[in-house]
Amino acid sequence: MATWNLRAFGGLTERWRAEDGESPLRDLFDVRCIAEVVSRFDVAALQEVRGNLTALRTLLAALGPDWAAVMTDVTRGRRGNDERMAFVFDLRRVRPSGLAGELVVAIESETDVPVGGLGRQFARTPYAVSFAAGSASLTLVTLHVLYGEEPERAAELREIGRWLADWPRHEREWSQNLIALGDFNIDRRGDPLFEAFTATGIEPAPGLDEVPRTIFGTGGTAKFYDQIAWFSDGPHGSMLTLEWLSSGSFDFVPLLGAGLTRRTLSWKISDHYPLWVEFSTR
Q: What is the pLDDT of residues 116-153, one digit of tens each?
A: 443 444 566 789 999 999 989 999 999 887 665 555 66
Q: How many residues would you count in the chain?
A: 282
Give residue 118's pLDDT. 36
3-state secondary structure of 37: helix
What is the C-alpha separation between 90 and 40, in angstroms, rounded?
A: 10
In CATH terms, 2-280 corresponds, of 1.20.120.550, 3.50.50.60, 3.60.10.10, 3.30.70.260, to 3.60.10.10
What is the C-alpha separation between 10 and 134, in angstroms, rounded?
A: 33
Phi then psi for 164, rounded to 5 degrees? -65, -40
Torsion of CA 242, 243, 245, 250, to 10 degrees: 20
Give residue 221's pLDDT. 62
Conformational region of residue 237, where left means phi above 0, alpha means psi within -120 to 50, and beta covers everything else: left
What is the C-alpha separation between 79 and 110, in angstroms, rounded?
A: 22
Give residue 255's pLDDT. 95
**Neighbour-count burial of 21, counting CB atoms closer than 10 A to its CB (0-12 exposed, 13-18 middle, 19+ buried):** exposed
Q: Please list the ranges in the chain whose pLDDT falls under 50.
A: 107-108, 113, 115-121
Give residue 114's pLDDT. 52
**Residue ranges of domains in the chain:** 2-280
Give residue 222's pLDDT. 66
What is the C-alpha separation between 26 and 10, in angstroms, rounded?
A: 9
